[in-house]
Amino acid sequence: MAADTRPKRPFRWHVGVFLAPAVLVYTAIMILPLAGTLQLSLFRNIEQHQVFVGLENFRTLFGDPNWSVNFWNALRNNTWFFIIHMLVQNPIGVMLAALLSSPRLRFSAFYRTAIFVPTILSFVIVGFAWKLILSPLWGVAPHLLDLVGLKSLFTPWLGKEEYALTALSLISVWQFVGIPMMLIYAALLSIPEEVIEAAECDGITGMSQFWKIKLPLILPSIGIISILTFVGNFNAFDLIYTAQGALAGPNYSTDILGTFLYRAFFGFQLQVGDPNMGAAIATMMFLIILGGVCVYLFLVQTRLRRYQF
Amino acid sequence: MTTKLLTALLLGTSILGSAGVANAADVTLNIESWRGDDLAIWKDKLIPAFEAKNPGIKVVFAPSAPTEYDAALGAKLAAGSAGDLITCRPFDKSLELFKKGNLADLSALPGMENFSPVAKSAWQTDDGKASFCVPMASVIHGFIYNKDAFDKLGIKVPETRDEFFAALDKIKADGTYIPMAMGTKDLWEAATMGYQNIGPNYWKGEDGRAALIKGDQKLTDKDWVAPYEELAKWKPYLGDGFEAQTYPDSQNLFTLGRAAIYPAGSWEIGLFNTQAQFKMGAFPPPVEKAGDTCYISDHTDIGMGLNAASKNADAAKTFLSWVASPDFATIYANALPGFFSLNSSPVKMADPLAQEFVSWRGKCKSTIRSTYQILSRGTPNLENETWVESANVINGTDTPEAAAKKLQTGLDSWYKPAK
């Protein structure tokens, strides 16, 4: 009987009210533009009118060698860009975090700040600074190599087809290594003391403690970092643009999806921009990133859960 | 109390003050431009000269950054907030604006008769019937050299290609100077200062360019591959690490006196005059044998058009007629040495280097860059591809024949010449 007399719970308006700002802002600046891009990619400008053409733009992108060669080249370069980050940036980030979290290290706050500083620098500064450092004419790189007698190793890296992309990837690694370092550092600090003590009681110390106890516990963070790196790399544009220009030379060897999209969408020099083809490329980038994130969420993260507390 | 009164008074005067200004200026014209560098010249020389002659018309020069100009202008035109006068990029960018109805037809503008058909070609419909921008300036390609270096090494100004390469060899053997200041990092240097600079001598200027557009010649023909063969020969004369040498690097190498020859566009003159501490001279691209007709790239670069939606069209037309007059040409060409007036009446210029460049118009035949008219409308874009391939040829990643073949294949994929 008590249930009948209990007043019916009123509709909770405040939930909607509190959600509204975030939903509205997110819709206005994320969902609408995304939908707009997807829509734009299905149209084509024919005699000053936007005409619906279905998947015709995508057929051009993959079927017309003038577009497809550039697209696959950009995708390949982008993948290499990502691989370098995964192989260099993240292991170094983990290593730095492990060193920083060691209680015996002095000045760790200073190192932490120093390594993190490049991350907050503008791309433009990083691009121009490294262009100058590596410049064969005025750069310090040739001089420094000369001091240790390795001048012969110097080549104009940013101007050589075979090295330019790797050089730029490493510059990007230099800039962003602070982010994995910080995230892993936080994860390492959050490992409960009891776990470590229990490990010590069992005689697991030093390196083997890192490999057997800490690393498995920070794997979820490494997973998050990988996915952040993946999204960041496949959206990258600024560094290549400031260092190599929109044509991503030499001979398109540093062209990634971002620069390819920029040229198609906005045009470059005499090339008039084609927003529809640009939107088609943007859609492909969206799908690639979506695919990567899904693979991570459904295949990797579900397995990682086991290690979480 | 007194503060409040004072505030009220100040507010009152500011409203009245602005009202007074609005009454005094009958018409204000706004100029859209990407030439932020020219702001001082417009403010101090050109606009006062115009306003003195035309009381009642005020002109404001409002430039935006070169890389943002086209996008910003497009957005402003669409929103209806663009200025009355629009600085025109050459060829398709402006043609597109005209076709959209953003630029007014100026064929009948008084003063347009002061320009030759080649000068007007950059701002005309393909059939040449309607003109929509007043030509303002062109830039000429050639080579600027360090006179002190040439005197020291006893080199005389080369006229033929053999003399040119002999001079380069001599500078290289001496070792004091880098023979030629050019890099391939920014790509366009190789195409614009290289290919388009020396090319007209091979493809015979306008003849070759017209034949290419008509489809009678191909980029794989001897006349179009030969400039690439010459470019490939430049490689040993460029500085160490030229693959990563940017455009500002090249400028600095030359103005610091470390390089002897600079493949140039005349727009460099202003900067070089203020930065270089040595005497400079210039020579046109060398010909095959002495006495051959020489051809130069005299490329139409800047024009000015009328926003079709302008509310002050009459005043704007008065201004454009003045831009088309010899008065404007004289002030402009002297204020900006290296940007040459396209006006048919000769303009007196004080700068010796600028005089040298413009004197070639008398003895050589003028043409414009081969890729600019019509041929860069499709995908792949011929101009952009020319940048990439010119750099490839100099870097040695592509042979001249392979580069030419790629360009022609790209062009064939979308361009069908009108027969």
By Cβ distance, the residue of B244, B381, B413 closest to A271 is: B381
B249 and B125 in a common domain? no
Residue B237 near residue B179 (C-beta atoms within 8 A): yes
B259 and B389 in a common domain? yes
B177 and B52 in a common domain? no
**B59 backbone dihedrals φ, ψ, rounded to 5°:** -125, 135
Domain containing B90 — which CATH number?
3.40.190.10
A82 part of a folded domain: yes
Count structural domains, chain B: 2
The yes-or-no verdict on residue B10 having pLDDT over 80 is no
The yes-or-no verdict on residue A94 having pLDDT over 90 is yes
B407 and B293 in a common domain? yes
By Cβ distance, the residue of B246, B372, B392 closest to A270 is: B372
Q: What is the pLDDT of residue B169?
A: 95
By Cβ distance, the residue of B376, B397, B410 closest to A270 is: B376
Residue B284 near residue B277 (C-beta atoms within 8 A): no
Q: CA nearest A60 in B: which residue?
A: B379
Residues of B in contact with A171 (CB under 8 A): none
By Cβ distance, the residue of B244, B380, B388 closest to A135 is: B244
B389 and B250 in a common domain? yes
Q: Do B379 and A251 touch (CB under 8 A)?
A: no
B395 and B283 in a common domain? yes
A121 part of a folded domain: yes
Q: CA nearest B185 in A: which residue?
A: A159
Residues of B in contact with A250 (CB under 8 A): 184-185, 187, 243, 388, 391-392, 395, 397
Of B110, B112, B102, B100, which Cα lies nearest the Cα of B136? B112
Q: Do B185 and A67 touch (CB under 8 A)?
A: no
Q: What is the pLDDT of residue A5?
A: 60
Could you read off the pLDDT of A28-83 as tens digits, one per residue?
A: 999 999 999 999 999 998 877 888 998 999 999 999 888 999 999 999 999 999 99
The yes-or-no verdict on residue B133 having pLDDT over 60 is yes
Q: How much is the pTM? A: 0.83
Count structural domains, chain A: 1
Q: How far is CA A174 from the centre of its chain?
A: 13
A186 part of a folded domain: yes
> How far is Cα A93 from Cα A187, in angstroms, rounded to an integer?
12
Q: Do A137 and B372 touch (CB under 8 A)?
A: no
Q: What is the pLDDT of residue A47?
A: 77
Token couple for B74: 């497009």
Of B263, B305, B274, which Cα lies nearest the Cα of B86? B305
Q: What is the pLDDT of residue B15?
A: 46
State the CB neighbour count (10 A cutoff) for residue A162: 11
Q: Does B381 touch chain A (CB under 8 A)?
A: yes
State the CB neighbour count (10 A cutoff) for residue A307: 12
Q: Which chain A residues have any C-beta within 8 angstroms of a chain B C-beta? A: 48, 64-67, 131, 134-138, 155-161, 244-245, 247, 249-252, 263, 266-272, 274
Domain holding B217, by residue range, is 140-298+368-412
Q: What is the pLDDT of residue B24?
A: 47
How buried is residue B419: exposed, middle or buried, by Cβ count under 10 Å (0-12/13-18/19+)?
Answer: exposed
Could you read off the pLDDT of A205-247 as tens digits, one per residue?
A: 888 988 888 988 898 889 889 999 999 999 999 999 999 988 8
- State what percent of residues in chain B have pLDDT above 90: 57
By Cβ distance, the residue of A65, A137, A271 closest to B241 is: A137
**Which site among B34, B242, B243, B299 would you substitute to test the A interface, given the most A Cβ atoms closer than 10 Å to its Cβ?**
B243
Domain containing A293 — which CATH number?
1.10.3720.10
The yes-or-no verdict on residue B187 having pLDDT over 50 is yes
Domain holding A275, by residue range, is 52-307
B294 and B308 in a common domain? no
B110 and B26 in a common domain? yes
**Which site among B96, B384, B415 would you substitute to test the A interface, given the most A Cβ atoms closer than 10 Å to its Cβ?**
B384
- State what percent of residues in chain A have pLDDT above 70: 96
Q: What is the pLDDT of residue B318?
A: 93
B148 and B263 in a common domain? yes
State the CB neighbour count (10 A cutoff) for residue B185: 28
B361 part of a folded domain: no
B53 and B131 in a common domain? yes
B224 and B282 in a common domain? yes
**Which residue bears the tokens 């959206």?**
A235
Detail the DSSP E strand segments found in A254-298.
Answer: 267-268, 271-272
